[in-house]
Amino acid sequence: MLSLIRYHLRSLAFRAPLLRRMLPANDNDSAEYWDKILATSHKTYLGGPISLEMRAAITAVLLKRYAPTGSPSIIDVGCAGCELAKAVSFDRYLAMDISPYAIEKCKQDPAFKEKPISFLASNLCDFTTDERWDAVVFNEVLYYLDVDQAVSEVYRYWSMLKQDGVVIVAMKHDGKSQAIFRSLKLKWLDGIVWQARSKPDYRIRIDRERPGYLMAVLRS
């Protein structure tokens, strides 16, 4: 019940720009924070749970369907354990995460030996490049930013895409994520709502342990 009340209160707050700007900022947006989390509970983020594998598989299908080429160049923002890189074909791949610990774990993975993949420990807000890419994937990172900042970063990364490039966004199902999606003025190509179930119940439920995930493919 408390989770349901919290969900609806957050949804109402994030629908009003003035109210959402008054909400406290996230305190978990530093490399130090994520290194500590990943070093102590890395299986949750760097591989193992079916939710990571499922989201990677769904994203791989979306990339195969909507990326401008069958072997796209990809920026994976918030790569964590690089599950997506294992699930998709690519011509060039940049795996980026705020956590140096996560990046080092990915570098050591034999699955990436002799593949056209590079690794970068960086805050997504600090990254820039003159290269052009076929796809940018934001995997559970945008809701760590303020809504306006998240939207601004999507548009900034959009400028790094080739013609007909796509942005894929995956976020937990909550009011802040919905506010970000509503603020993105890009062409909606496809969307998927996914949630792991522990019983035969197929409605999206408010569940902090098994949250639903909103996934969208966008193009200008």
Q: What is the pTM of this model?
A: 0.84
CATH number for region 48-219: 3.40.50.150
Given this model, what pLDDT does residue 72 score?
97
3-state secondary structure the chain: CHHHHHHHHHHHHHHCHHHHCCCCCCCCCCHHHHHHHHHHHHHHHHCCCHHHHHHHHHHHHHHHHHCCCCCCEEEEECCCCCHHHHHCCCCEEEEEECCHHHHHHHHCCHHHCCCCEEEEECCCCCCCCCCCEEEEEEECCHHHCCHHHHHHHHHHHHCCEEEEEEEEEEEECCHHHHHHHHHCCCEEEEEEEECCCCCCCCCCCCCCCCCCEEEEEEEC
Q: What is the pLDDT along the chain (220 residues), one digit of tens a residue?
A: 566 566 556 666 666 665 566 566 565 567 776 666 666 655 555 555 677 888 899 999 999 999 999 999 999 999 988 999 999 999 999 999 999 999 999 999 999 999 999 999 999 999 999 999 999 999 889 989 999 999 999 999 999 999 999 999 999 888 899 999 999 999 999 999 999 888 888 888 888 778 889 999 999 8
* All structural domains of the chain with their residue ranges: 48-219
